[in-house]
Amino acid sequence: MVRVVTETTPNSFLQDGRVVGRGTELVELTLQRAGLRDYRIDLYPWARAVDLAQREPNVLIYPIARTADREERFRWVGEIQRIRYFFYALPDRALPPMKQLDEARGLTIGVVRDDVRHQFLQRKGFTRLVLSGQPLENLRKLLYRQVDLVAMTENEAQRLCEEARPDCAGLARLLPLDELQLSLFMAYSRATPEDLAQRTTTAFESLRADGSVARTMGPLAPGAASAGR
């Protein structure tokens, strides 16, 4: 059995007791085309999902940002989408316009534990990071003025604000994090047999070739605005 793990994002969320979303649909199409009918999709906090995908065999994680740090930790199956992050603040926070990342060093920044934004800001030497287990919890820390900034894609900000209503309205989009223009993938744990990963990759590439990836996810473009970790 393939164990599929993810967190709540615009690509993967619970609806009527099932995990759905465009990314979820694409994962299921891929597994089915690979002839893999025995699978289960579970939602976890991101740190837990990554831990499972690094420790156990036959675990498929999505949507996960492909970074140099992660390259050797997973068997990469296929590119789902490309994303771009921005810093967001409350509209009444009266922050000055930001032109470069260093201008945010004096502010507290909310991040989801162990996701790519957390890791990126740590590498850049940021120390005023406030950790959350889930994206919605992270946004609520901004809304309750426990942090000054959070980093999100446009689509993630919109969807999380819909969930957080009536607390969320008119977030101010500030600095684009240009160094975090990344690709989101589905990927297997390294402990997964290579032939299973290759079988899934072949299925994904056939979906890309016949247009199913573009129809399901929309065109891949640097400005695409889904969420990813």
For residue range 92-124, list pLDDT tens digits in order: 877 877 899 999 999 999 999 988 999 999 999
Pick the CATH number of 2-82+180-217 from 3.40.50.300, 3.30.450.40, 3.40.190.10, 3.40.50.280: 3.40.190.10
Residue 220 has pLDDT above 60, yes or no: no
Pick the CATH number of 84-179 from 2.160.10.10, 3.90.550.10, 2.40.50.140, 3.40.190.10: 3.40.190.10
**pLDDT digits 0-9 by tens, 170-213:** 889 999 998 888 889 999 999 999 999 999 999 999 999 999 99
Burial of 18 (0-12, 13-18, 19+ CB in 10 A): exposed
Cα separation, 22 vs 217, whole angstroms:
6
DSSP collapsed to 3 states, 77-118: EEEEEEEEEEEEECCCCCCCCCCCHHHHCCCCEEEECCCHHH
Cα separation, 131 vs 209, whole angstroms:
40
Q: Model's pTM, two decimal places?
A: 0.73
Across the strands, what pairs with 61? 5, 187
Instruction: Report residue 82's pLDDT band, with 50, 70 and 90 as the boundaries.
Output: confident
Residue 222 has pLDDT above 50, yes or no: no
- What residue segments make up the domains of the chain, in order of their start? 2-82+180-217, 84-179
- 2-82+180-217 shares its CATH topology with 84-179: yes
Q: What is the pLDDT of residue 224?
A: 37
